[in-house]
Amino acid sequence: DNFFHHGPNGKHACMAFERLGPNLLSLIKHYKYQGVPLPIVRRIAREVCRGLDFLHRHCSVIHTDLKPENVLLTEDLPAPPSPMYSDDESSVHTADDASDDDDEEDDDEREGDDGDGEEGSGDDAPHARSRASANKSGVSESKGKEAPVGASGGGGGGGG
C-alpha cells in the first residue's frame, strides 16, 4: 500500500509493507565483515535487480538511496557455519566449503526461472524482497573470482 504525507517539510511518498526481516547490513555484520557467501550474494543481487526493474517499469520510481541499510530481507539470518575438523585437526573446513562446488549447477537451474518470484526451496539463504534494492558496489572481480559483498581488504576505497 502507499500514500502521501503532507508535513512541514513537504510532500512525501510513503509505502507500507508486510513485516520484513533484518537489513543487508545486518547480514554483512553477521559474517563479521569477512564477506557474505557467494550463493547468498547472487540471490540477493538477483532479487534487488528484479525489485529495481519493477520500480522502474511499473511504478516510475528511481531509488536514490541504495545502500545495505535500505535492503530488507524476508528471512532470518542463517546460522553461522560450524567448523568441521579433519582427522589430523590441522585444517578446518566449514559447511559452506562443501557447497561451493554446487554453485554453478544451482545457478543453471535458476536460469530457467520464469520470473514469477518462486524459487526452489531448501536454500536457507536470506533474500531481498522484489521491492528492495541493494548496493552492488561490494561485488568486484579479482583474478577471475568474485569477491563477496562486505569483504574487507586490499586497495583502500570506501564502502556504502
Q: Does residue 10 fall inside a structural domain?
A: no
Q: Does residue 103 fall inside a structural domain?
A: yes
User: What's the number of domains the chain is made of?
Assistant: 1
Q: Sign of dihedral through CA atoms 123, 131, 57, 65?
A: negative
Q: Residues 122-139: what's their mean pLDDT?
A: 39
Domain range holding 134? Answer: 21-111+123-141
42-66 pLDDT, tens digit per residue, is 999 999 999 999 999 998 989 999 9
Q: Does residue 146 fall inside a structural domain?
A: no
Q: What is the mean pLDDT of the chain?
A: 67
pLDDT score for 77: 59
Q: Does residue 45 fall inside a structural domain?
A: yes
> Which positions are catalytic?
65
Cα gap 29→150, rounded to integer Å? 8
Nearest to 127 by CA among 48, 26, 56: 48
Q: Does residue 33 fall inside a structural domain?
A: yes
Confidence category of residue 132, pLDDT binned at 50, 70, 90: very low
Q: Does residue 86 fall inside a structural domain?
A: yes
36, burial (CB in 10 Å: exposed 0-12, middle 13-18, buried 19+)? buried
Cα→Cα distances 50→82, 114, 140, Å: 32, 12, 20
Q: Does residue 6 fall inside a structural domain?
A: no
pLDDT score for 134: 36
Cell of 31: 559474517
pLDDT score for 107: 44
Which of the residue ranges 18-32, 88-102, 139-153 would you say has the lowest mean pLDDT?
139-153
Q: Does residue 149 fall inside a structural domain?
A: no
Work out the angle between the directed axes of helices 103-110 and 38-59 (0-180°, nearest 10): 20
Within the chain, what is the greatest distance between any pair of CA atoms?
68
pLDDT score for 46: 92
Confidence category of residue 120, pLDDT binned at 50, 70, 90: very low
Q: Is the pLDDT of residue 32 over 90?
A: yes
Counting other chains too, the contacts that 37-40 makes at CB distance below 8 Å and 24 or more residues apart are: 37/96, 37/125, 37/148, 38/100, 38/103, 38/146, 38/148, 39/99, 39/103, 39/106, 39/123, 39/125, 40/78, 40/125, 40/126
